[in-house]
């Protein structure tokens, strides 16, 4: 019998409780051992909910109980999650978390503390919700040099873009509907501005290369500027538009960006619709693999936390190694990144396109008073210099 | 330094050698330890190839060397791979293999031997080539009740079906071209009759439920009867045709089948094209996750073997547990499986369709002298009984 505690009985925490209860027998069968929730920490009361029997309000009850081997931190936010996690690890209890913010800010330090105390700090649920991605990156791909990671890492924006594409609606209309349905927050900035995806690609890139990627170093553009006219062009190209969170290793340089991209059907990420997430990883030996599933949601996220719990339960007294040094991974300026660009300019500028950009793929008659084109490959800096030659650019979307 | 040996310097074995050499630094960085190939076993000589320095012709050199901690069995076939594997495990050496046949036939026994000798028998590469699927099933999804597994598990057939769809060609034409390009064997039976996919779904289903699934218990149909006319109907439905290897848990019953299915774009497997493979797993808590990548090929398969090597190297002296009992998992007769069916009958039978099948989705004017329809949901037995009411059925394809 392995005894665990859950810190925070919110959406994910109550999901963890549910997964452990409902799948008790499955878990015991595969693990060869039972998992029991000994405590749930929450400031609130939950009268009438069976959780009340194991509810405590004081974290010390948990931290001082030597029987508790594993703690699930599902509180979210930096404080007091950071302090509780640190103390749990220092007392030799492994911690499994869904807390992306904490992982992104303090991952390397918490892993080091876990190592020093022969326990583990695992965070599968912090990126990609229910999609196994952190563990495959750490184990199944440990023999690989990672050449690129491209993720659809935010369900809200993928839902909005999918609806804009399939129903021809404007961004604001779809966002309002998504908010009604609970697919988007009342303050949707973290999602629609790309900040959530940015934190996640920072974590994945850190794990791929074993060094710390600061999310502030990643150029981040959201989807707020994408219009139905952009989708009309994409459709003409036989493509769609996706918010990609991307990091690339090119020689000894590392690039990272979060931005909308024009995506063709040849890319397996093209088919990822609605609230689903997926991560495409390109490796120097095995080539491309992709991981797809629910990027959020109570039970999917909780399930990933419980997967970590089982991993810890299999390795009591042992540290599960995750290479993630405090040393910073230098992200090169996006200026040097090479790709193609889809550009819309006023129709009056059409005659100058070839002079400025040379060979392009032209798209006309999509919208009145304008035209669009896709450039050849060039650096972001080159693109910017050339684009400055126009009076105005109506829209630019990178092409994958 | 962890020393390993490779049994068999064929396609996969030489790939393992290459991955370990080329990614030496990456591996050392992530593992915190170096992997060194101490021996390669092969009956042949490889003059001029650096492998010659570590080449041995006698397996006893390897089995009697206490320094060798891990053995990669990349010989294929049942004998002598079985005997060599058994002896390696009995001497406490972990074995990592790509040998699907051996795993399917002797998996449970070899796992038990490994357990008794504190080492491991791992076989990530035996299903899905370079796609991490066995390890996620064993670790990331250990907390889940698996409700269904649907795989595109054979690259040759998926390549053929993709070409038939996109180029409107007949099966024989595409097969001949695939053989020219080396995407299909000269004797393509194991692929096109579904036998390869059948062995793989037998392994995955065994691991999902911890019991032994005999591949002989799985109804297996290949793709040889699929025609360009079938694809014309599929196109009309906005769908495609894929060879699915599928197992489903329904209550306390288990169903399994390998057969062509009509697949709509809503299914993430729809977008899996060409030689790529993918596995979609539906779980009771986290919902659907999908794993996508190269299902075959030297380096992709070798990379998966090396992932297992690293896992063993991290757990020297410890058994990595895989629940797979000798007890047989009863696969229920396919008669009871419920689904929709796409059926083509001679035009003369059109008036009788509604009498026999009730409500159907009709498709006419696709090919001369015939029509097609999709039934409501019913069991396979019901379908068969009803279909017997026609003089002849031109074609039947199950609908996913």
Q: What is the pLDDT of residues B292-328, one digit of tens each?
A: 999 999 999 999 999 999 999 999 999 999 999 999 9
Cβ B283–A303 below 8 Å, yes or no? yes
Model confidence at A183, pLDDT cuts 50, 70, 90, reads confident
State mean pLDDT over A293-299. 94
pLDDT in tens, B133-181: 999 999 999 999 999 999 999 999 999 999 999 999 999 999 999 999 8
State mean pLDDT over B379-388. 97
Catalytic residue among B38, B93, B200, B242: B200
Q: What's the CATH code, domain B136-293?
A: 3.30.360.10
pTM of the shown model: 0.96
Residue-level pLDDT at B182: 85
Indicate if A93 belongs to the active site.
Answer: no
CATH topology of domain B2-129+298-314: Rossmann fold (3.40.50)
Residue-level pLDDT at A84: 98
Architecture of domain B334-399: 2-Layer Sandwich (3.30)
pLDDT in tens, A15-42: 999 999 999 999 999 999 999 999 999 9
Q: Which of residues 122-141 of A touch B (CB under 8 A)?
A: 124, 130-132, 135-136, 139-141
Residue-level pLDDT at A22: 98
Model confidence at B55, pLDDT cuts 50, 70, 90, reads very high
Residue-level pLDDT at B267: 95
State mean pLDDT over A90-117. 97
Task: For chain A, give the secondary structure using H, E and C.
Answer: CEEEEEECCCHHHHHHHHHHHHCHHHHHHHHCCCEEEEEEECCCCCCCCHHHHHEECCHHHHHCCCCEEEEEECCCCCCCHHHHHHHHHHCCCEEEECCHHHHHHHHHHHHHHHHHCCCCEECHHHCCCCCCCHHHHHCCCCCCCEEEEEEECCHHHHHHHHHHHHHCCCHHHHHHHHHHHCCCCCCCHHHHCCHHHHHHHHHHHHHHHCCECCHHHCEECCCCCCCHHHHHHHHHCCCEEEEEEEEEEECCEEEEEEEEEEECCCCHHHHCCCCEEEEEEEECCCEEEEEEEECCCHHHHHHHHHHHHHHHHHCCCCCCCCCCCCCECCCCCHHHCEEEEEEEEEHHHHHHHHHHHCCCEEECCCCCCEEEEECCCEEHHHHHHHHCCCCCCCEEEEEC
Residue B204: CA count within 13 A, CB half-sphere: 36
Residue-level pLDDT at B390: 92
- Which letter, b or e, does each residue of A251-276 get, where b requires 16 or more Cβ atoms within 10 Å of its Cβ? eeebbbbbbbbbbeeebbbbbbbebb
Shortest CB distance from B142 goes to which of A276, A307, A321?
A: A307
Domain boundaries, chain A: 2-129+298-314, 136-294, 334-399
Paired sense of beta strands B240-250 and B146-152, if any? antiparallel
Which chain A residues touch B270 with a CB distance below 8 Å? 271
Model confidence at B391, pLDDT cuts 50, 70, 90, reads confident
Mean pLDDT score of chain A, rounded to an integer?
Answer: 97
State mean pLDDT over B52-77. 98
Q: Which of residues 277-316 of B touch A (CB under 8 A)?
A: 278, 283-294, 297, 299-300, 302-304, 306-307, 309-311, 314
Model confidence at A299, pLDDT cuts 50, 70, 90, reads very high
Instruction: Give the residue carrying structure tokens 């995750």.
Output: A322
CA distance A168 to A166: 6
Paired sense of beta strands B121-122 and B361-363, if any? unpaired
CA distance B124 to B82: 17
Model confidence at A391, pLDDT cuts 50, 70, 90, reads confident
- Chosen for mutation from A33, A70, A143 (greatest number of chain B CBs closer than 10 Å) is A143
Residue A341: both structure tokens together: 């660009």
Distances (CA, A) of A136 to A156, A337, B311: 24, 27, 11
Architecture of domain A136-294: 2-Layer Sandwich (3.30)
- Which letter, b or e, does each residue of B76-100 get, where b requires 16 or more Cβ atoms within 10 Å of its Cβ? beeeebbebbbbbbebebbbbbbbb
Angle made by CA atoms B347, B351, B352, in degrees to the nearest 5: 105
Q: How many other C-beta atoms are found inside a 10 Å radius of the C-beta of residue A68?
A: 20
Peptide bond into B80 cis (omega under 30): yes
Residue-level pLDDT at A182: 85
- pLDDT > 70 in chain A, percent: 100
Distances (CA, A) of A127 to A99, A131, A331, B86, B374: 9, 8, 20, 40, 40
Residue-level pLDDT at A116: 98
Residue B127: both structure tokens together: 């299903």
Q: Which of A12, A301, A277, A14 has the alpha carbon at shortest distance from A129? A: A301
């Amino acid at each position: 019998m392995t005894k665990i505690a859950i810190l925070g009985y919110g959406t994910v925490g109550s999901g963890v409780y549910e997964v452990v209860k409902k799948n008790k027998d499955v878990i015991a069968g595969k693990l060869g051992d039972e998992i029991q929730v000994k405590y749930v920490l929450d400031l609130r009361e939950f009268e009438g909910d069976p959780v009340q029997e194991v509810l405590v309000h004081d974290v010390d009850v948990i931290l001082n109980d030597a029987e508790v081997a594993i703690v699930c931190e599902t509180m979210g936010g930096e404080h007091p999650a950071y302090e509780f996690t640190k103390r749990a690890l220092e007392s030799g209890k492994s911690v499994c978390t869904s807390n992306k913010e904490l992982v992104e800010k303090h991952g390397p330090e918490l892993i080091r503390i876990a190592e020093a105390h022969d326990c583990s700090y695992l965070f599968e649920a912090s990126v990609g919700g229910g999609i196994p991605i952190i563990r495959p990156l750490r184990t199944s791909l440990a023999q690989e040099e990672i050449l690129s990671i491209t993720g659809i890492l935010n369900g809200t924006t993928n839902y909005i873009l999918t609806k804009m594409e399939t129903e021809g609606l404007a961004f604001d209309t779809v966002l309002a509907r998504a908010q009604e349905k609970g697919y988007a927050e009342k303050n949707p900035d973290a999602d629609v501005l790309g900040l959530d995806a940015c934190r996640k690609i920072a974590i994945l890139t850190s794990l791929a290369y074993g060094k710390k990627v600061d999310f502030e170093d990643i150029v981040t553009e959201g989807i707020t500027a994408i219009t139905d006219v952009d989708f009309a062009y994409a459709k003409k190209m036989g493509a769609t538009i996706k918010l990609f969170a991307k990091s690339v290793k090119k020689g000894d340089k590392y690039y990272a960006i979060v931005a909308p991209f024009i995506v063709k059907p040849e890319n397996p990420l093209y088919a990822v619709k609605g609230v689903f997430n997926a991560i495409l990883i390109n490796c120097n030996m095995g080539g491309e693999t992709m991981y797809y599933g629910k990027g959020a949601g109570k039970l999917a996220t909780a399930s990933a936390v419980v997967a970590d719990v089982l991993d810890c339960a299999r390795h009591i007294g042992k540290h599960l190694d995750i290479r993630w040094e405090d040393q910073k991974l230098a992200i090169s300026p996006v200026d040097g990144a090479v790709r193609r660009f889809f550009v819309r300019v006023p129709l009056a500028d059409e005659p100058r396109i070839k002079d400025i950009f040379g060979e392009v793929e032209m798209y006309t008659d999509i919208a009145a008073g304008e035209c669009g084109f896709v450039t050849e490959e060039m650096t972001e800096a080159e693109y910017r210099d050339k684009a400055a030659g126009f009076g105005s650019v109506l829209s630019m979307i990178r092409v994958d």
